[in-house]
Amino acid sequence: HDIKIEVSDYAGNISNVSLKLMHDSKSKLFQQKDLNYIKRFDYDRDNEFSDADIKLEIPKGCLLDTVYFNHTAALATMQGVFSKIHQIDRPSTQAFEWFNVYLKTEKLSTHLRDKAVVVYKDESGTEVSRGGKYDDGFVKAKVREFGTYFIRIDTTAPEISLVNVAKGKDMKKDKRILIKISDDLSGIANFSTYLDGKWVVTDYDAKSSTLTHTLDAHLATGEHIFKVVVTDERKNTAEYPVSFKM
């Protein structure tokens, strides 16, 4: 059989490839395979899945195609995990939109409920918080990936690092103050900066995690105090005052 595939873009550029296809009745490549799955998700309708430890709510139009869904849950062997380790289908399963995941907590103390976050672990082992909110034994979060999920708690304050300012440094030539801020799990929620006790405007570059405050050219000669206050998504707060000279 002669096969020709032609692809064109909006500008009218065309690429094509031709090939020959031969039928082989003995080939196993195109033989029907048995599908092992828990539930079938159709892309053109709302889908749900739940058991004692998890619930999924996937809206119509969220999925790229029909998904033959599988799920497994295992007891956590890692420290600091407060749920089972859930394998929600495969990481290669694609979603166009956000969907809801509810994970049941395990051994989570009452006073730590507002510190709990749903964590996604990618294939390289990197863990990323997907946030979430505790409700009646579960933490609910909106996610866009299939794969490995579990619950951690974030009780660690953000980190604040001085870049070009230091205690007692003369900042006349620098003209601006640079400070890096970061958070190891739930992510930065907000920050405030103060100069001599008064709130001041400071720019934030999320890509480099850098705060930049431009010093007023008319700032009085002498010692001043610049303070940064940073809060993460789980309301852990850090502050760093530094004195400098003009």
C-alpha 118/C-alpha 186 separation (Å) is 9
Residue 10: what pLDDT? 87
- Distant-in-sequence, close-in-space partners of 209: CB < 8 Å, separation ≥ 6: 180, 181, 182
Q: Give the residue-averaged pLDDT of 158-163.
A: 97
- pLDDT tens string 81-96: 999 999 999 999 999 9
pLDDT band, very low/low/confident/very high, at 33 (cuts 50, 70, 90):
low
| pTM of the full structure | 0.81
Q: What angle is formed at CA 156 by the lines to CA 154 and CA 159, rounded to 5 degrees? A: 130
Q: Give the residue-averaged pLDDT of 118-123.
A: 97
pLDDT at 158 over 90: yes
- pLDDT tens string 203-241: 999 999 999 999 998 999 999 999 999 999 999 999 999
Residue 121: what pLDDT? 97
* Total length of the chain: 246
Q: Give the residue-averaged pLDDT of 135-152.
A: 97
pLDDT band, very low/low/confident/very high, at 182 (cuts 50, 70, 90):
very high
Residue 102: what pLDDT? 98
- Classify residue 73 as left (phi > 0), alpha (psi -120 to 50) or beta: beta
C-alpha 99/C-alpha 62 separation (Å) is 7
pLDDT at 26 over 90: no
pLDDT at 30 over 90: no
Structure tokens at 27: 């080939």
Q: Give the residue-averaged pLDDT of 158-183.
A: 95
C-alpha 140/C-alpha 134 separation (Å) is 6
C-alpha 56/C-alpha 48 separation (Å) is 5
**Three-state SS across 159-207?**
EEEECCCCCCEECCCCCEEEEEEECCCCCEEEEEEEECCEECCCEEECC
Residue 66's nearest CA partner among 91, 87, 47, 40 is 40
Are residues 72 and 105 in contact, defined by beta-carbon separation less than 8 angstroms?
no
